[in-house]
Structure 1
Amino acid sequence: MSHPVDIHVGRKLKQARTLRRMSQTDVARQLKLSFQQIQKYEIGSNRIAASRLYDLSRILQVPTSYFFEGLTDADSAQESTRDHGLDIVNAVASIEDEQIKSRIVTFIEDVSGRTVAKSA
């Protein structure tokens, strides 16, 4: 069974990757890994080493602390805890019309006061 912290960090990895509109393959190439390894990181079945977490933070343009945001108590964290942010990211990612998707992202940026970096 995966440790709750590994699951949380994996969810944050997926959230940041999806917000940057990067595929698992995009991230894997930059790390010289397979996309399957990124999948394992994202579901928490494989732990992410500190050096790899540092590399991911640079690739995804987030501070390393980002991966631990929202983590309250590792011992009481539940795997079933809903991550509404990830639900929103997945919903936006599923929109096929790029113009509508872009407008939604702009709206979210305006409301949150944060800018989402777009991948090259």
Structure 2
Amino acid sequence: MPRPTSSSTHLRRSRRRPRGNENGPDPVDVLVGHRLRTRRQSLGLSQRKLGETLGVTFQQIQKYERGMNRIAVTTLVRAAAVLDAPLSFFLEGIGPQRQEPERPTLYGRDARLAQALAGIEDRRVRAAVRTLVRALSTERQP
């Protein structure tokens, strides 16, 4: 009976990428691929021509478009340039969405007052003015 080698006794890690669903392509890859196909078709570009431009086969383009293969960021950047689309076109709505906080709009004298306050170099004096304004205002804010 052959003696097991050290490499066969260790469990090997799979080199496969983690998927959201083991039964199919990752939803992000499918979405990016769909947008790649949509943009390519809107320009009347064949898979073969796009593949040649990106340095991959048309079969690889098919896999990208179906979401079967994940497209590398460098390839996606080149594809965006070839397809004359911003990179954000392919990634819109993917990942965590962040809402920008609302900023109060200042006009006229209020804007000039805010600029003057920002222009006060001494940190303690600036803090004292802010404290005074809060104390005088009818609506206190933290």
Q: Point out the structure with max Rg over C-alpha.
A: 2
CA offsets per residue over residues 89-108 of structure 1, 9 Å max, x none?
Answer: xxxxxxxxxxxxxxxxxxxx
SS state of the match for residue 2, structure 1?
coil
Match of 1:25 among 23, 41, 48: 48
Paired residue for 1:68? 91
- Over the matched positions of the two proteins, sequence identity in percent amounts to 41
- TM-score of the aligned structures, taking structure 2 as reference length: 0.49
- TM-score of the aligned structures, taking structure 1 as reference length: 0.57
SS state of the match for residue 21, structure 1?
coil
Structure 2 spans left out of the alignment, 5+ residues = 1-23, 97-142
Paired residue for 1:13? 36
Find the aligned partners of 1:50 and 1:31 in 2 and give their Cα distance: 12
Moved over 4 A (4+): 70-73
For the aligned residue pairs, the C-alpha RMSD in angstroms reads 1.4
Tell me the CA shift for residue 33 of structure 1: 1.1
CA offsets per residue over residues 70-114 of structure 1, 9 Å max, x none?
Answer: 5477xxxxxxxxxxxxxxxxxxxxxxxxxxxxxxxxxxxxxxxxx
Q: Which structure: greater helix fraction? A: 1
- Structure scoring higher RCO (CA < 8 A, sep ≥ 6) equals 1
Equivalences, count: 73
